[in-house]
Amino acid sequence: MMVTAMNGVVFKLSPSIRAIPNRTFRAMPLASSSAPAALSSDPKLGPGSLGHITRPDFPILHQELNGKRLVYLDNAATSQKPAAVLKALQTYYEAYNSNVHRGIHYLSAKATEEYESARQKVANFINASECREIVFTRNATEAINLVAYSWGLSNLKKGDEIVLTVAEHHSAIVPWQIVAQKTGAVLKFVNLTEDEVPDVQKLRELLSRQTKLVVVHHVSNVLASVLPVDQIVSWAHDVGAKVVIDACQSVPHMAVDVKALDPDFLVASSHKMCGPTGIGFLYGKSELLSAMPPFLGGGEMIADVFLDYSTYADPPSRFEAGTPAIGEAVGLGAAIDYLSAIGMQTIHEYEVELANYLYNRLRSVHGVRLYGPAPSETVNRAALCSFNVEDVHPTDIATFLDQQHSVAVRSGHHCAQPLHRYLGVNASARASLHFYNTKEDVDEFIGALEDTISFFASFK
């Protein structure tokens, strides 16, 4: 069903929405003035805030769509890139584009130097003991698959248990389903508490000598909850289990120290931390990586190749077959430089304030159902909110926000179908922030959402 708004934009409604003929849409004023006074006056979110200071560094944010300023609130899916990262990519391709490791000429040597420098930057960023504990992958999904197929198939057997939560991303579930089918290992899932947080006490109770692996997220991409992964790692190690941490939603937003957390494996993606797409990384303890067989075969990952057998390079080269994503690694290194210059603690503190502001403003909107824990003195939510609006499909919300207000949010199951089924819904809308977002972005989103709800209410 199609509806034409006053500005001439044709809005396509989901089949579940019945359009009333000859209705026109009238834009409503933004609702920023309705923000709670205590929140609106918070100096940390004012004109001199981190969001206002860093926003000029992101060229993509300085544009209008359909005559309105772009408000980008889809950062949990992918972050935007500062000019420094774009420049690093351009410089690589213009000045020293070449393959790494094998060449002796200047361009190859320069490319190798910058590529390996990026690895060292990643190691420093998460406080790894040495850079050889960092394996570059296409993304976090590939990093988890690497662990699953290399470590998992080599170490798991029938009856071994893998413990996860119902809130895991598909990339942290599906590879282990495949491995379990091949090895006879058993998957066990932990549900949520009444506060809609994964039940870590139940997780602790599930651990036993049969538990060989625990796979958990650090920050939920739907619930915005932050798990005490240091405790989970300690409990798992007490029973002899290994731990894989999905840190995709934590590494870009807070200081992550693998020495302090002590995971066996940790994964993250460049594109969520202001770097390019097409590259992520696996952190693995050196003794584990050294004992693992190759994930892919080909060039770069070998020591010697004979007609009937091959010997393999030491990690991380063993797991980086073929020509790597060189430019993307350089861009990731530039992103880490940019984030480090700001300071991850500074980013985290600002985003906690912005997250609380977003949550409280959304909570005040009539008909909105929020998911995950409420913020409190003891609970810090990540800077994202998944929600539904009564009687409106989340895809219709996202489409209307985009077409009528140039507000970008995400709708769907966010690669977390088991979690949505547990919550009793098929999908949700999600607004997610990064440090370059501002209080004004949130206010514009809330005003646009109230306008959207009013529009769909007119069809009842």
Torsion of CA 172, 176, 177, 181, to 10 degrees: 170
Predicted confidence at residue 377, as pLDDT, reads: 84
By annotation, the residues acting in catalysis are 415
Predicted confidence at residue 102, as pLDDT, reads: 82
Q: Which CATH class, in words, describes the domain spanning 2-81+343-457? A: alpha beta
What is the mean pLDDT of each successive set of 10 residues along the chain, which is 460 residues long?
A: 42 39 26 30 79 97 93 98 98 97 93 98 98 98 98 98 98 98 98 97 98 98 98 98 98 98 98 98 98 95 95 96 97 98 97 97 96 91 97 96 97 97 97 98 98 90
Residues in the chain: 460
Which amino acid type is present at position 172?
Answer: A
Predicted confidence at residue 40, as pLDDT, reads: 36
Q: Are 429 and 410 in contact (CB under 8 A)?
A: yes
CATH of 96-341, one of 3.40.50.300, 1.10.220.10, 3.40.640.10, 3.40.50.720: 3.40.640.10
Predicted confidence at residue 47, as pLDDT, reads: 87
Domain ranges of the chain: 2-81+343-457, 96-341
Predicted confidence at residue 42, as pLDDT, reads: 60
Give residues with Cβ within 8 angstroms of 10, minimum separation 6: 2, 3, 4
